[in-house]
Amino acid sequence: MTDLLEDFETKKETIRDEVELHIKKRDEANAKAQEYAKKRDELNQKTHDMREHAKEKIAEKNELIDKIKVLRDDKEEHYKNLSDLKRQLKDLKSNFGAGLDLKDIKMKEKELQYLEKRQQTTELTKDDENKIIVDIRRLNNEIKKAKTQREEELLKNNDIKELTDKINSERTLGESLKKQIEELSNQISKLSDEINEELQNLDNVRKEADENHEIFIKYSKESEAEHAAFIKSKNDLRDLEKAIYSIRNKTKVTKKREKESELQEKASALYEKFKAGEQLTTEDLLTLQKAGFL
């Protein structure tokens, strides 16, 4: 019995060490799990904020696209009007002679083309080339002057002047719209680059959050496993302590019984002496009394 008790006491210390070790490992794993859970939650919040910011930029981009559609429609309308007005002006000018010889201007333009072609394709003497250069310069000046005079005369006509003003107005509006469209297109292009970059960063942050979540799960499982092992060891320790307590009680009872048995045997021998008339000591009499013989 004594050997078994010693074995149980030794095992109890071993299990107590296991209990403490499982508590330590459980708490360490739980601390790690909480650490990675915090990182995961921070990254998830960052992901949410980045997604909302990206959505704002996408909405801004869509608004610009819608605005460009409207501006393009307006621009096309103005350029259509411009084309119609130019055609009207051309028709009006063709019917408006104003004493100017259009045929003469066209003849000079043909002559100019001929001289320019001859200068470019024909091998000339220096004098001939100088003469052609002078003639080209003269024709250019005459044509320019004739056209300017014609335009001045044409603008004296109210209908032509009114059409010209409308044309200039439509052209200005069209060019202004075209410029606005180009600026918005540049903004959209810039936004697209920013959105693509943000979405890429968002994907990286989300991936990092997922990685932290996986590590959190790993440590959570470790913590749960260590807690289960702790419970088992704790129960084993409790059962062993019960067994040790039981053994100790049984040992006490056995010792008591052995002691009582010895007392009975001793008292029986003393009682036989007492019956035989032998003289007993005070201690012998107390033994008989304790054993219930007196």
For every residue of 8-71, DSSP letters joined together read HHHHHHHHHHHHHHHHHHHHHHHHHHHHHHHHHHHHHHHHHHHHHHHHHHHHHHHHHHHHHHHH
Q: What three-state secondary structure class fits 124?
A: coil
pLDDT confidence band for 67 (50 / 70 / 90): very high
pLDDT at residue 33 in the model: 95
Q: CA gyration radius for the chain? A: 58
pLDDT confidence band for 46 (50 / 70 / 90): very high
pLDDT confidence band for 98 (50 / 70 / 90): very low
Distances (CA, A) of 75 to 47, 85, 126, 167, 245: 41, 15, 53, 14, 100
Query: What is the rounded distance in angstroms from the CA atom of residue 64 to the CA atom of residue 181?
Result: 10
**181-229 pLDDT per residue, tens:** 999 999 999 999 999 999 999 999 999 999 999 999 999 999 999 999 9
Helix axes 126-155, 102-121, angle to 10 degrees: 150
* Range 260-278 average pLDDT: 68
Domain extents in the chain: 98-156
Query: What is the rounded distance in angstroms from the CA atom of residue 135 to the CA atom of residue 191?
Result: 57
Model confidence pTM above 0.75? no
Query: What is the rounded distance in angstroms from the CA atom of residue 71 to the CA atom of residue 65?
Result: 10
Quick one: which of 40, 163, 142, 44 has its CA closest to 94? 163
Is 146 in contact with 100 (CB distance < 8 Å)? yes
**225-262 pLDDT per residue, tens:** 999 999 998 888 887 778 777 767 766 655 666 566 67
The yes-or-no verdict on residue 21 having pLDDT over 90 is yes
For the range 246-249, what are the long-range contacts, defined as Cβ-Cβ under 8 Å and sequence gap of 24 or more?
Answer: 247/1, 247/4, 247/5, 247/8, 248/5
